[in-house]
Amino acid sequence: MRAIDALNVMKEGHDGSGVGLYLSGLGGPFEDLKENPILSGIFTDAGLKRVYEYMAERGHRAKYSAMFKPESRPPSGTPRRGTYASLAYIMSEEWQALPKAKQDEQLVQMRLDLRAEGERTGDMMVFSFWPDTIMIKEVGDPLAIGEYLQLGREELHARHILAQGRQNTNYAINLYACHPFFIEGVGTMTNGENTAFVPIKEYLQSRGVTGYEGYQSDSEVFTHIAHYATKKLGLDISAYKHVITPMSDEEMVDHQDREFLSSLKRACRKLIIDGPNCIIGCLEDGTMFMVQDRKKLRPGVVGGNPELGIYAFSSEICGLNAAIPERDKSKDFQPMHLDTAIVGPDCREVVQCSQKDPLRLQP
Domain boundaries, the chain: 1-163, 179-363
Return the percentage of the chain with pLDDT > 90, whole number: 81
Average pLDDT of the segment spanning 185-197: 91
- Model confidence at 332: pLDDT above 70: yes
pLDDT band at 122 (very low <50, low <70, confident <90, very high): very high
pLDDT band at 16 (very low <50, low <70, confident <90, very high): low
- Model confidence at 180: pLDDT above 90: yes
Report the chain's terminal Cα–Cα distance, integer Å: 32
pLDDT (0 to 100) of residue 12: 60
Of residues 85 and 13, the one with the higher pLDDT is 85
pLDDT in tens, 227-247: 999 999 999 999 999 999 999
Mean pLDDT of all residues in the chain? Answer: 92
- Model confidence at 363: pLDDT above 70: no
pLDDT in tens, 248-275: 999 999 999 999 999 999 999 999 998 7
pLDDT band at 294 (very low <50, low <70, confident <90, very high): confident
pLDDT in tens, 58-87: 999 999 999 999 999 999 889 999 999 999
Please give the Cα distance from 222 to 165 (Å, whole number): 18
Return the CATH superfamily for domain 179-363: Aminohydrolase, N-terminal nucleophile (Ntn) domain (3.60.20.10)
DSSP 153-217: -GGG-EEEEEEE----SSSS--GGGSSPEEETTEEEEEEE--TTHHHHHHHHHTTT-TT-----S
Nearest of 186, 187, 184, 232 to residue 207 by alpha carbon = 232
pLDDT in tens, 296-322: 667 899 999 999 999 999 988 999 999
pLDDT band at 343 (very low <50, low <70, confident <90, very high): very high
pLDDT (0 to 100) of residue 76: 87
- Model confidence at 13: pLDDT above 60: no
Helix (H) or strand (E) holding 50: helix 45-57
Sheet order of strands, 350-354 included: 181-183, 186-192, 277-282, 288-292, 339-343, 350-354
Nearest of 289, 322, 341, 288 to residue 7 by alpha carbon = 322
In this structure, of 2-11, 22-31, 245-254, the range with the lowest mean pLDDT score is 2-11
Q: What is the dihedral of CA 254, 255, 260, 261, to 10 degrees?
A: -100
Compute φ and ψ for 106, nearest 5 degrees.
Answer: -70, -35
